[in-house]
Chains A and B, each alone.
Chain A
Amino acid sequence: QSVLTQPPSASGTPGQRVSISCSGSSSNVGSNSVNWYQQLPGTAPKLLIYINNQRPSGVPDRYSGSKSGTSASLAISGLQSEDEADYYCAAWDDSLKKLLFGGGTKLTVL
């Protein structure tokens, strides 16, 4: 069981807005920035959002991130079929002294 808790699945129809949550604690999300990774089927993970709400070059502004206290969330607006993927949150944990990943959320576009 992951220290960072994500819902195992999420879904939406094309054009909808979906949100994926990531819940942690004071030693990880509460004190460090959160990053989000997208993993398309059969491929390596890709950085999607970093330092809570920053988008790397090339990532559409349909993707956004936020953080409040010990929780973070990833929002995807204008859902498209190519958004169907696994999404992982990640944060450093000051107590465990390791990088933590959430268990991942499988997003299905209906």
Chain B
Amino acid sequence: EVQLVESGGGLVQPGGSLRLSCAASGFTLNNYWMHWVRQVPGKGLVWVSRINGDGSFTSYADSVKGRFTISTDNVQNTLYLQMNSLRAEDTGVYYCARSLRTAGNVLDIWGQGTMVTVSA
């Protein structure tokens, strides 16, 4: 079964760091674009970052550029999001999502999400 399972969320103080993980099963990460999407509970979806299959290309939303780093470990078949210099506005549920092989911005498989709360 194709599945994504996120972990690593939690409560962190402003200025702190957190690393989110997204374990993939049923498929090989290096064949797909992967994305992170954030959602404040009760609000809409906001795209955060994406990475291509071999990890050679990444892009970020302006709000996280320079603070967040997306990466993959193809041995562990896991996607990561390293979040540094966290701010209150980074709070939300973080979903990892896989794209279609033929359309890198079509998110066909989503994880269940992991909650990040940035608060003193």
Contact = CB atoms under 8 A, between A and B. Distances in A.
A45 B95 contact: yes
B45 A44 contact: no
Interface stretch (B18-26, B68-76, B104-112): B104-112
A46 interface: yes
Interface string A31-49: 0110101010000111100
Q: Is the interface of B mostly helix, strand, loop or mixed?
A: strand
Contacts of A91: 105
B47 A45 contact: no
Range for the number of chain B residues in contact with chain A: 20 to 34
B59 interface: yes
B113 interface: yes
Contacts of B106: 33, 35, 47, 50-51
Interface residues of A, number: 25
A44 B44 contact: no
A45 B100 CA distance: 15
A86 to B, nearest CB: 8
Interface of B: 35, 37, 44-47, 50, 59, 61-62, 95, 97, 100, 103, 105-108, 110-113
Interface of A: 2, 32-33, 35, 37, 39, 44-47, 50-51, 56, 88, 90-92, 97-104
25 contacts: A33-B103, A35-B105, A35-B106, A37-B45, A37-B107, A39-B45, A44-B95, A44-B110, A44-B111, A44-B112, A45-B45, A45-B107, A45-B110, A47-B107, A50-B103, A50-B106, A88-B45, A90-B45, A91-B105, A98-B47, A99-B35, A99-B47, A101-B46, A101-B47, A103-B44
